[in-house]
Amino acid sequence: MEIKTSTMLSIALLGGLQAVAISAQACCPDPTHGAPNASMMATGLGESTPKAPDLSLDPSWHIYEFQRDGFSYLQVSDLTGTVRAAVGNINGMLWVLPMGVDVSRVSLPAKGSVPRGTVVYQASTFMVRVIPGRQVNKWEITAAD
């Protein structure tokens, strides 16, 4: 009789633990508990039409922001989908990624410098200004304050 009682108690306990595990999985399927998982994050940096929302303030441009491993990346594309430039950011330190037809025309001015151009994107990580030219545009990208 003791074996049956012990076995039944073990089964009931395991069933209860399984129920808790299932409800926890339904609540928080991601091990980072609420942070976006890889399937929910924007993807496609460098692609003409990435799987990311267009965040541009100016309808003449497409601006996409990506996050990975604590780094933020920004891609600027034109209306045809041509990648114009891309920049990375970690803790306010920016660098130009080697992609886009305007890569040589991207400047990363120091904080406190006089801004030029028209703001086409502004968020917590980046501010992007376009400086129109006769044949080509220049880009001024700064870390947001």
**Average pLDDT of the residues of the chain:** 81
The pLDDT value given to residue 125 = 85
DSSP state letter for 72: E
More confident residue, 48 or 5: 48
Q: What is the pLDDT of residues 11-65, one digit of tens each?
A: 655 555 565 455 444 444 444 444 444 444 678 999 999 999 999 999 999 999 9
The pLDDT value given to residue 54 = 95
Q: What is the pLDDT of residues 96-121, one digit of tens each?
A: 999 999 999 999 998 888 889 999 99
Dihedral angle over CA of 96, 99, 103, 107, nearest 10: -20
